[in-house]
Structure 1
Amino acid sequence: MWLVNAFIGQAEFYLSIIIRLLEACLLGGIIGFEREHLHRPAGFRTHILVCVGSALVMITSEFIFNKFSANVNADPARLGAQVISGIGFLGAGTIIKEGINVKGLTTAASLWAVSCVGIAVGIGFYSGAFIATIIIFLTLVVIRKVQMRRTSKKNIRLCIHTLIKRGEVRELSQLIEELGVTVTDTEFVSSERDGEMILRYKIQIPNDIPTVEVIEAVLCHNTVRRVYEE
């Protein structure tokens, strides 16, 4: 009889592990899918790995506590605390500085939040993990859409092939700004073809001004050969 009870106990133990890791995979995948859809540096697979890894850390902590707490002073939260602080190196890798703009902060925050979801799942706090996942997902999707609707300008990149000299670029920038467009950054790329210069502009266009209108206006400049949106 004791053999049957031991087998049932082991089956329940492994079933609990499988359920926790699969739930971590599911919840991490939900957040990762949203990031992947927006082509962010850390996407579907990265969020799943972070969440499942965090869950495994807490399962391991619980296992260590149950097995050795009678002999040593074991803290089941210690490994989880290391995950929360250690995930920063991965989040930092998703943050990119481009000119005056910084990108990747939201993805870094989502990675940290997903690691916390994984910790909750790993310790068996399923309700908290589900509620947190819903809140995180709504924050990334719904609030982003609200912010986009409230934003009065759209950010685009223009690549301009021109024969203009570096010192005369201000004239072209003024032409763009006269259309009601804000130039936030300019990058110069030299080209060996016929002395051509490539300018990469980051601009903000009011929503009521079509992008094609700006492109056509730039093309009217006598030094410009080609303009396209990147």
Structure 2
Amino acid sequence: MPESLTLTDLSWLHLDLLGRLLLAALLGGVIGLEREWSGKPAGFRTNLLICVGAALLTELSISVARSAGAGVPADPARIAAQIVSGIGFLGAGTIIQSRGGVMGLTTAATLWVVAAIGMAVGAHAYTEAVGTTLLVVVALLVLGRFEPHLGRHAEHVLQVTLAPDTTPVERVEEVLGRGLRFEVVEMERRDGRLLIAYAVSGHRRRWHDLLQRLLELDGVDRVERT
């Protein structure tokens, strides 16, 4: 062992790393507690572990790059890129698409930000990590209460079935065009009936009124939203 590096120095290095990991655990745990209280699948332990793991991997990537000898290629950004890719796969597993829409987007986004916070801690960017944690907690706690009253934007595929020789397509599209954006995805005839699939997007509050208006049209046999 070189004379310039003592056991005391190593102990301080280990304590410094331990302190960063504890900070990452604290920040990830704070966000995880909010997720746990909200009954989300990715709760306290998940967010804490992701933050600590991202911090450790970032710390290791920086250490490896610093300890590499002259002429040895060592890019600390490689491991960081793999963290982002891994969190992408993990976040995709929390997203569920159903007939009622898409669920889990906020959980997936939270995991992504928690990993970024851990990477910031591993890169010794403590102010940025703490500030981001506060912003995330405020967004989840405060904005989450106002979100149901905002009438969010929604996108669905609408399948309209028309009886033979009744309501023209133009009449259906006139109803769709009242405050919503749409485009024809598919159109086919089956057993004499015309089946049209529309990709429709717009304000959530308009959806109920839209479905009622379509069903009131003469010749509209069925309207399905997927």
TM-score, normalised via structure 2 length: 0.62
Look up the equivalent residue of 1:14 and give its one-letter code: H
The separation in 1 between residues aligned to 2:77 and 2:4, in whole angstroms, is 33
Shift of 1:150: 4.8
Written as runs of structure 1 = structure 2, the 5 A alignment for 1:60-75 is: 60-75=60-75
SS of residue paired to 1:102: strand
Structure 2: runs of 5+ lacking an equivalent: 153-204, 206-226
The answer for the alignment partner of 1:58 in structure 2 is 58
Answering whether residue 88 of structure 2 is matched by residue 88 of structure 1, we say yes
Shift of 1:46: 0.5
Shift of 1:99: 1.5
Look up the equivalent residue of 2:34 and give its one-letter code: E
- Alpha-carbon RMSD across the aligned residues, in angstroms, is 2.1
> Does the CA contact (< 8 Å) of 1:54 and 1:118 recur in 2?
yes
Answering whether residue 19 of structure 2 is matched by residue 19 of structure 1, we say yes
The separation in 1 between residues aligned to 2:111 and 2:70, in whole angstroms, is 35
Shift of 1:114: 0.3
The answer for the alignment partner of 1:220 in structure 2 is none
Written as runs of structure 1 = structure 2, the 5 A alignment for 1:156-175 is: none
Distance 1:69 1:36, change over 3 A: farther
Number of residue pairs matched? 152
Answering whether residue 28 of structure 2 is matched by residue 28 of structure 1, we say yes
Shift of 1:49: 0.9
Shift of 1:12: 1.8
Identical amino acids, percent of aligned pairs: 44
The separation in 1 between residues aligned to 2:106 and 2:150, in whole angstroms, is 19
> Does the CA contact (< 8 Å) of 1:55 and 1:118 recur in 2?
yes
Answering whether residue 123 of structure 2 is matched by residue 119 of structure 1, we say no
Shift of 1:98: 2.7
1:20-67, Cα deviation, whole Å (9 max, x unpaired): 111111100111111111111211111011111101101111220121
The separation in 2 between residues aligned to 1:151 and 1:116, in whole angstroms, is 30
1:68-95, Cα deviation, whole Å (9 max, x unpaired): 1435121112101111122111101111
